Amino acid sequence: MLANEIYEILKKEFGDGILEFKEEAPSDPYISVEPSKIFDICHTLRDSSELMFDYLMCLSGLDLGESLGIVYHLYSFKHTHKIVIKTTVPKETPTLPSVMHLWRTADWHEREAFDLYGMIFSGHDNLIRILLPYDWEGYPMRKDYNEPEEYHGMRVPY
């Protein structure tokens, strides 16, 4: 199924929850959605018989300056089609629903996004740091991050 057909299906079901569809070479076509609806939209994407996106290829965090972005790359084994779902959350309140219970692989991806960008995925079972030490402060992948002077007595900048 083509990306614009997937967009039509979602638009019919969620209306205002779907914000934008963009298809412009060489980028992958994407659909941007409302962050609060992300769980319901992903649920439809996974379980609707014509979509069946059963494979979450990648979940990435982004720093867009004013806000934070989350990008979901989905693939369907049955229909062999792909789609990119994007959403943004404000930096002050970066909360959005977790999709961990739809695709278990999102567990570690969401922990990584939390670790490096500081998004709070509500509904995640165990949202703790994954790559950095458990007591690290701040979110290093944000563009305005300043590294600390020292960590447990060790000098950080070199």
Partner 1 sequence: MNETKKIQLEYSQMESDRMRLNVGPQHPSTHGVLRLEVEIDGEIVTEVIPHIGYLHRCFEKHCEKMTYPQVIPYVDRLDYISAMNNEWPYVMAVEKLLEIKVPEKVEYIRVIMAELNRIANHQIAVATFGLDAGAFTPFLYFFRDREYILWIMEKCSGARLLFNYFWIGGLAHDVYPSFKQEVLDAIKQVRKTNAEVMNLLIYNKIFIDRTANIGILPADVAINYACSGPTLRGSGVKWDLRKDDTYSIYNRFDFNIPVGKGEVGQLGDCWDRNIVRMYEMEESCKIIEQAVAQMPDTGDVKEAIPAKLRPPKGAEIYQRAENPKGELGFYVVSNGTEKPDRIKARGTSFVNLSVLPVISKGYMFADLILILGSIDIVLGEVDR
Which residues of this protein are in contact with partner 1, per CB under 8 A?
A: 25-28, 54-58, 60-63, 71, 73, 77, 80, 84, 103-105, 107-108, 116, 126, 128-135, 140-141
Nearest to 94 by CA among 115, 121, 73: 121
Nearest to 18 by CA among 28, 29, 1, 36: 36
* Nearer of residues 15 and 65 to partner 1, judged by Cβ: 65
* Nearer of residues 38 and 59 to partner 1, judged by Cβ: 59
> Minimum distance from CB of 25 to partner 1 (Å)?
8
Residue 55's H or E segment, with its range, is: strand 55-63
Spacing of C-alpha 86 from chain mean position: 7
What is the rounded CA–CA span in Å between residue 142 and residue 118? 9
| Number of C-beta neighbours around residue 23 at 10 A | 13
Residue 32 pairs in a beta bridge with: 20, 86
* Nearer of residues 38 and 63 to partner 1, judged by Cβ: 63
* Nearer of residues 51 and 84 to partner 1, judged by Cβ: 84
User: Which residue has 């790359």 as its token pair?
Assistant: 73
> Minimum distance from CB of 48 to partner 1 (Å)?
17
Q: What is the DSSP letter of 39?
A: H
> Minimum distance from CB of 23 to partner 1 (Å)?
13
> Minimum distance from CB of 124 to partner 1 (Å)?
13
> Minimum distance from CB of 44 to partner 1 (Å)?
17
Side chain identity, residue 78 = K
* Nearer of residues 1 and 132 to partner 1, judged by Cβ: 132
